[in-house]
Amino acid sequence: MLVKVSDPAPRGGTLTIQGRYLGGANQGVIRLGADENGKGGYVFPASAIKSWTDSEIVATIPTDAPVGGSWLFVEVSGKQSTGLPFSVTR
């Protein structure tokens, strides 16, 4: 379950996601730009993840991430979190 996501950030900036039951980097993915149901979008590559614990994920926003506002989801072991709005700025 996602609780909080950091303020909008540019490509190359830092994204911090706080929540519960976030698993670990080998169990999950970050999806950005999905629709409100979590379908589609851009999956962060594993190389973008700086740290991932059960309560916090810190990642670098990739240079090819979509710019603009969209929904952000975390998927862990096939289960999808609630979505939170997040914006990648220029």
Supply the pLDDT for residue 7.
Answer: 94
The pTM (predicted TM-score) of the whole model is 0.91
pLDDT band at 90 (very low <50, low <70, confident <90, very high): confident
How far apart are alpha carbons 65 and 56 in whole angstroms? 20
Here the tokens at position 25 are 């980097």
Contact 69, 41 (CB under 8 A): no
Residue 8: per-residue pLDDT: 95
Over residues 19-74, the pLDDT tens digits come to 999 988 788 999 998 887 888 899 999 999 999 999 999 999 999 999 999 899 99
The per-residue pLDDT for 48 is: 97
Domains of the chain: 2-89 (2.60.40.10)
Q: How many CA atoms lie within 13 A of 71 on its CB side?
A: 16
**What pLDDT does residue 1 have?**
78
Residue type, 16: T
Helix/strand/coil percentages in the chain, nearest 5:
5, 50, 45
